[in-house]
């Protein structure tokens, strides 16, 4: 059992600070307005998740955060050194500054110098630190790495020539997500971050959640760019439509200087239209469609005593994790395709039929907060017998921002525009899919009324909201308790699924999202650098949009009614099942 924290008094640059002996110098300094540079430390991301386990991204490996312990007259790493009573710390001692420059020079001595063309240029923490200390020349010239770049996957590129061995990705992959694909290997100069047996990423258990990319300080890990594919499609003779996920609208603005969480829906739509898309649609419509199918499936399982819990299936990262790690439980997830895949399927059937266009001449582009969606769009189960996929190209929020900048669109001065119909009208329930807890809340808003026949007067299920990694609530439906579980982050999913497998927990429905906090913190979103305030601002904006909607339940969206009346028939019916549902694959666990 850990000892209780004890209050201690320390001095940083002459300022007296009261903290506790379990806290690091780095944290105490940051909390009191002092900035200590670092590369291996990653602030707050998992530590802020109450009940989710505390994962400190402090390996102490980079040595950039060295500070002077004045009383001992020695340099100590701020990120792993606990505070002790009477400690006197200097963070701008001459030796500290000299050490920082030396460390950065050594890191840069064998680092590629292709900053202008690097995917992380302008977002690289190593680049920023070098600029801060005004490093303009190097005294050391190290041996350059010449490792093969891993481009095997459709989602993530691994370039270990740019790795600085900070191990953030290792902690994220193993301790937070519990995927276990990345680990430290080798010794000395040949130290690297490797996959099991040095396999290509596509041949591992990787879920392509992209959280490793989110925490990487350099260009060692980046998303596969599909920007060129989109430009080529837009100048082709194809009919190119685009859909945007709910999380995009509350994060895209950050790339253009807006405060975190600013809703830029109207400007985003106008920018997409100026880029040349024939139709600009909203994935929120498909989220409503997903709820129709998922809620119908849930009601079917309850009324016919079928297998529970039902697990949401919107997140491709979590689905792939299940297929590898818990493939004995493949019968409990919903069979629903994810919303953007449902959208692609309906676009290439219903929409193509109404417009008189050959489905093979339609290109569906998805703008997603997620790197796993790139992999998902190529899954053979998510296509048609005629040989085409539901979704053709996936780009991230970051990629969309780059495209807007590339053609010099003045985003900040754009007038607001609206989505095209028939797939531009959505409910508030469709919007909250972006946040952890939102999918299951949206499903409850519909399932409750379908089961009871009564109108749901209170639409907000606030116990299911927030950034906490694991949440649960019990809702009374038709006089019976209905137990809901919500987890975000694959490590938390691992814990919950083990309980279900062992019979130690009972739930009727569970929502799982691979990324901590949900899609708002997806691997393709603007980098938040572990700042929970950014993620909270995005989440708050998502729920504000929901509150402002006149229609807040998926089954009350008139365009959804029209789709079923004209084309699909009834929810969870034969045609709906054919177009909107899928199956899962038992994959090898390495």
Could you give the residue numbers annotated as active site?
A: 294, 297, 314, 334, 373, 376, 381, 519
Distance CA 148, CA 151 (A): 9
**What DSSP assignment string belongs to 473-530?**
EEEEETTEEEEEEEEESHHHHHHHHHHHHHT----SEEEEESSTTSGGG-TTSPP-TT
Cis peptide before 422 (omega within 30 of 0): yes
C-alpha dist (Å) from residue 486 to 23, 461, 473, 496, 584? 30, 12, 9, 9, 21
- Beta-bridge partners for 150: 158
Give the distance between the most distant pair of CA atoms in the chain: 80
The 3 state secondary structure assigned to 126-166 is HHHHHHHCCCCCCCCCCCCCCCCCECCCCCEEECHHHCCCC
* Under 8 Å between Cβ of 66 and 90: no
Query: Residue 542, SS3?
Result: helix
Q: Hey, what's the torsion of the CAs at 496, 438, 558, 388, to 10 degrees?
A: -60
- The set of residues, in sequence order, having a beta carbon less than 8 Å from that of 131 and lying 6+ positions away, is none
- The set of residues, in sequence order, having a beta carbon less than 8 Å from that of 113 and lying 6+ positions away, is none
**Span between the terminal Cα atoms of the chain, in Å:** 34
Residue 431's Cα: distance from chain center in Å? Answer: 16
* Under 8 Å between Cβ of 372 and 209: yes
């Amino acid at each position: 059992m850990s000892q209780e924290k004890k209050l201690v008094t320390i001095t940083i640059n002459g300022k007296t600070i009261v903290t506790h002996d379990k806290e690091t110098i780095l944290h105490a300094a940051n909390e009191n307005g002092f900035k200590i540079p670092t590369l291996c430390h990653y602030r707050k991301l998992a530590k802020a998740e109450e009940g989710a386990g505390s994962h400190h991204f402090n390996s102490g490996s980079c040595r950039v955060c060295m500070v002077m312990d004045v009383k001992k007259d020695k340099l100590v790493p701020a990120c792993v050194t606990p505070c002790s009573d009477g400690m006197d710390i200097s963070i701008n001692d001459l030796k500290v500054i000299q050490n920082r420059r030396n460390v950065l020079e050594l890191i840069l001595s064998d680092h590629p110098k292709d900053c202008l063309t690097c995917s992380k240029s302008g977002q690289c923490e190593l680049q920023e630190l070098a600029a801060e200390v005004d490093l303009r020349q190097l005294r050391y010239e190290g041996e350059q790495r010449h490792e093969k770049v891993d481009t095997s996957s459709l989602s993530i590129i691994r370039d270990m020539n740019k790795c600085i061995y900070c191990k953030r990705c290792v902690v994220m992959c193993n301790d937070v997500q519990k995927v276990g694909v990345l680990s430290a290997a080798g010794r000395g100069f040949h130290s690297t971050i490797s996959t099991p047996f040095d396999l290509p990423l596509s041949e591992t258990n990787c879920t392509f959640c992209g959280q490793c990319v989110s925490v990487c300080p350099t260009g060692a890990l980046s998303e596969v760019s599909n920007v060129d594919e989109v430009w080529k499609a837009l100048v082709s003779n194809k009919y190119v439509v685009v859909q945007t996920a709910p999380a995009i609208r509350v994060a895209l603005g950050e790339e253009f200087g807006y405060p975190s969480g600013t809703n830029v829906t109207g400007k985003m739509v106008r920018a997409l239209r100026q880029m040349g898309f024939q139709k600009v649609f909203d994935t929120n419509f498909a989220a409503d469609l997903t709820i129709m199918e998922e809620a119908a499936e849930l009601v079917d399982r309850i009324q016919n005593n079928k297998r529970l819990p039902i697990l949401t299936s919107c997140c491709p990262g979590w689905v792939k994790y299940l297929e590898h790690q818990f493939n004995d439980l493949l019968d409990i997830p919903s069979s629903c395709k994810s919303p953007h895949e449902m959208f692609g399927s309906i676009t290439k059937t219903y929409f193509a039929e109404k417009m008189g266009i050959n489905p093979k001449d339609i290109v569906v582009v998805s703008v997603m907060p997620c790197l796993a969606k790139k992999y998902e769009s190529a899954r053979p189960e998510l296509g048609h017998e005629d040989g085409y996929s539901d979704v053709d190209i996936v780009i991230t929020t970051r990629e969309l921002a780059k495209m807007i900048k590339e053609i010099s669109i003045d985003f900040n001065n754009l007038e607001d525009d609206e989505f095209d119909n028939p797939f531009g009208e959505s409910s508030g329930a469709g919007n909250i899919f972006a946040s952890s807890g939102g999918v299951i809340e949206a499903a409850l808003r519909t399932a409750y009324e379908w089961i009871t026949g009564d109108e749901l007067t209170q639409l907000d299920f606030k116990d299911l909201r927030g950034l906490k990694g694991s949440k649960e609530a019990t809702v009374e439906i038709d006089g019976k308790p209905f137990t809901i579980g919500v987890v975000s982050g694959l490590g938390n999913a691992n814990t919950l699924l083990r309980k279900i497998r062992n019979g130690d927990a009972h739930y009727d429905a569970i929502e799982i999202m691979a990324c901590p906090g949900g899609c708002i913190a997806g691997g393709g979103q603007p980098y938040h650098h572990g700042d929970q305030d950014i993620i909270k601002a995005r989440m708050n904006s998502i729920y504000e949009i929901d509150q402002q909607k006149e229609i807040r339940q998926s089954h009350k969206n008139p365009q959804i009614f029209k789709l079923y009346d004209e084309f699909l028939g009834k929810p969870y019916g034969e045609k709906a099942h054919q177009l909107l549902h899928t199956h899962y694959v038992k994959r090898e666990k390495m």
